[in-house]
Structure 1
Amino acid sequence: MNIGFIGVGSMGAAMVPNLVKAGHQVSVWNRNPDVVKAIKGVTILTSLAAAFENDAVITMLSDDTAVRSVIIDSGVLADARKDCIHVMMATISPAIVEELQELHRNAGIAYVAAPVFGIPAVADKGELNILAAGDAEAIATVQPLFDALGQKTWHLGDDPKHANIAKIAANMMITLAIESMGEATALTESYGLKAGDFLNVVTNTLFACSSYKRYGSNITSNTYEPGFKLTLGLKDVNLALDAAKAKARVLPAAEIVRENMQGGVDQRMGSKDWSILAKVTRHRAGLEEGVA
């Protein structure tokens, strides 16, 4: 399949080689074309419009602002190939998804939402979990791409917003897990039980899953080199709170997490892994420790 790929940040750069390895012809457009030069086996596009001359286009941009600038404000959809399928893999708000759906309907182009669970290291192994929603026929057509990128595709119906709200809600849950580990280890260490000893127990019994294990390990070792930056995590919590507000819902725990994450950003921790939220939480609980 001929694929246009838009946006090669850390996630996109990890994903593209797996598409190439699976035998797809991949052409890449990035706002900074120099970044693309490190990726082998791809064609570098100098025109954004050229990406939409392929069988499918995958977009992996950082946020709503980037998507608006690159996809909406550019007007690139107006001249896109009519049988092209646009796969939006970015984590974006339900509000901008509705806008994108309308633009794609007007342009006569299929739109599929497919955000992912996984950090760049997981993407590099082709082990992402992909949340797919949109037209069933379009999803079936691009399924070989998902097979190259992920270990499983989770089908969430024909409304693209369902995939995005699932991703936003799940990322919110990860931040709540990090917050809970920060608070729990502040409590255990107050009684002389080390964070590592406690987290070793709970991440192998009650909370034996990848997120608790990965971020619990960061807390134990006091190292927070990014798999997913705190600034991006804060962006996703804000997406969750904004989405809740649009439906007149209240998310009290997420409000606490947002306050602590913003505190971390204000303390210049924004480029660290989002699990550094636990450090902010532990500091608020009265523990003093340096950032490794």
Structure 2
Amino acid sequence: MTRVAFVGLGAMGVPMSSNLVKKGFTVTGFDLSANALNALENAGGRRAGTAEEAATGADVLILMVVNAAQAEAVLFEGGALEALQPDGVIALMATCPPAAVEAIEERVRKAGRRLIDAPVSGGVAGATAATLTIMAAGSRDTFGVVKPIFDALGDKVFHVGERPGQGAMVKTVNQLLCGVHIAVVAEAFALASKVGVDLKILLEIMSGSAASSWMLKDRGPRMLQSDPEVTSAVDIFVKDLGIVLDAGRATKAALPLAAAAHQMFLAASGRGDGNADDSQVIRTYFALDGVK
């Protein structure tokens, strides 16, 4: 049976690791949060005191950390890379810049291990229901090793390329579209509010028209709430749209809409709403437009 180490037991990491346990995998996890470790233990997993301890003897190490810097710290400073089985596989499932993934993969390869670049989409709901979309890039052989694990985490598993970094680019494109969609819904709602249109009625109309989108239907209702439950924070899109713009610079691709959306999320964060649900970027539009 494949032994899995899981580092990064956050809002998505806990349900993901728990789903692996349910599917019969031996899972040892590490996180700085004692509550997260308790949750994994309650699900039938094992807790470790360090990332290196979690990775010791594991066949696959899943990194569901915040960013590339944390991934590098776990692998190269925390000792997890060397603790992994020789020829073991690291599944980097965090949202990272494509160039950073390529650099990490080179160091992993030189250490005699393999990396699969496999960011995810679907949020906490997808992590809990095991319906994540997984965008994996790496050699076909390496993908074959981790495919059963990915199948336990998501129902839409894609091999998007042979080269690590390509998965990160697919996720980058995904976040570009998501961020712009959220921002433009907020912009449209703010415009309608200027003339007193009932946003509940507007949402109903737009949801059934050619202007509809998944983001409109998901974030629109939360934009009508003053303080909705946080499913994805404003600061997530400050980070992710920053990655989008970095990718644009690296490839010399013009991304004017992404840049405009990034400015609105950045403004929302600067106003103190960084930890609010990302739908609350609408507060910044309201502030700009003088809408109460």
Fold shared by both chains (TM-score > 0.5): yes
1:169-188 matches, cutoff 5 A: 169-188=173-192
One-letter amino acid of the counterpart of residue 274, structure 2:
G
**CA deviation after TM superposition for structure 1 residue 13, in Å:** 1.2
Aligned with 1:286 (options 274, 286, 290): 290
Give the distance between the partners of 1:249 and 1:5, measured in 2 at CA: 35
Larger mean CA deviation between 253-262 and 88-97 belongs to 253-262
Give the distance between the partners of 2:49 and 2:16, measured in 1 at CA: 20
Q: Aligned pair in 2 of structure 1 residues 4, 60: CA closer, same or farther (>3 Å)? A: same
Is 1:46 paired with 2:49? yes
**CA deviation after TM superposition for structure 1 residue 112, in Å:** 0.5
1:152 corresponds to which residue? 156
Give the distance between the partners of 2:282 and 2:66, measured in 1 at CA: 23
1:76 corresponds to which residue? 80
Answer whether contact 1:64 1:92 (CA < 8 A) is retained: yes
Provide Cα deviations, 1:76-120, integer angstroms capped at 9, x if missing partner.
323431131111100011121111111111012111011111111
One-letter amino acid of the counterpart of residue 93, structure 2:
M
1:87 corresponds to which residue? 91
**CA deviation after TM superposition for structure 1 residue 23, in Å:** 0.9
**CA deviation after TM superposition for structure 1 residue 266, in Å:** 1.5
Is 1:37 paired with 2:38? yes
Query: Is the partner of 1:31 in helix, strand or coil?
Result: coil
Larger mean CA deviation between 87-96 and 224-233 belongs to 224-233
1:232 corresponds to which residue? 236
Answer whether contact 2:64 2:92 (CA < 8 A) is retained: yes
1:26 corresponds to which residue? 27
Answer whether contact 1:179 1:281 (CA < 8 A) is retained: no
TM-score scaled by structure 1? 0.92
Aligned with 2:122 (options 118, 124, 131): 118
Answer whether contact 2:68 2:101 (CA < 8 A) is retained: no
**CA deviation after TM superposition for structure 1 residue 208, in Å:** 4.4
Give the distance between the partners of 1:147 and 1:121, measured in 2 at CA: 16
Answer whether contact 2:51 2:79 (CA < 8 A) is retained: no
Give the distance between the partners of 2:26 and 2:214, measured in 1 at CA: 33
1:129 corresponds to which residue? 133
Query: Is the partner of 1:267 in helix, strand or coil?
Result: helix
Give the distance between the partners of 1:243 and 1:256, measured in 2 at CA: 16
Give the distance between the partners of 2:104 and 2:79, measured in 1 at CA: 12
**CA deviation after TM superposition for structure 1 residue 38, in Å:** 2.2
Give the distance between the partners of 2:290 and 2:210, measured in 1 at CA: 26
Aligned with 1:96 (options 80, 100, 103): 100
**CA deviation after TM superposition for structure 1 residue 21, in Å:** 0.8
Q: Indicate the RMSD between aligned Cα atoms, in angstroms.
A: 1.7
Answer whether contact 2:47 2:54 (CA < 8 A) is retained: no
Is 1:168 paired with 2:172? yes
Provide Cα deviations, 1:189-228, integer angstroms capped at 9, x if missing partner.
2333222211222223325443221101111234432111
Aligned pairs, number: 288
Give the distance between the partners of 2:120 and 2:230, measured in 1 at CA: 17
Is 1:7 paired with 2:4? no
Give the distance between the partners of 2:211 and 2:111, measured in 1 at CA: 46
Answer whether contact 2:62 2:90 (CA < 8 A) is retained: yes
Give the distance between the partners of 2:174 and 2:240, measured in 1 at CA: 10
Give the distance between the partners of 1:231 and 1:189, measured in 2 at CA: 25
**What runs of 5+ residues in structure 2 fail to find an aligned partner?**
none
Identity %: 27
Q: Aligned pair in 2 of structure 1 residues 254, 132: CA closer, same or farther (>3 Å)? A: same
Aligned with 2:252 (options 212, 234, 248): 248
Larger mean CA deviation between 248-257 and 15-24 belongs to 248-257
One-letter amino acid of the counterpart of residue 22, structure 2:
K
Give the distance between the partners of 2:219 and 2:144, measured in 1 at CA: 34
One-letter amino acid of the counterpart of residue 46, structure 2:
T
**CA deviation after TM superposition for structure 1 residue 57, in Å:** 1.1
Q: Aligned pair in 2 of structure 1 residues 51, 135: CA closer, same or farther (>3 Å)? A: farther
TM-score scaled by structure 2? 0.92
2:276 corresponds to which residue? 272
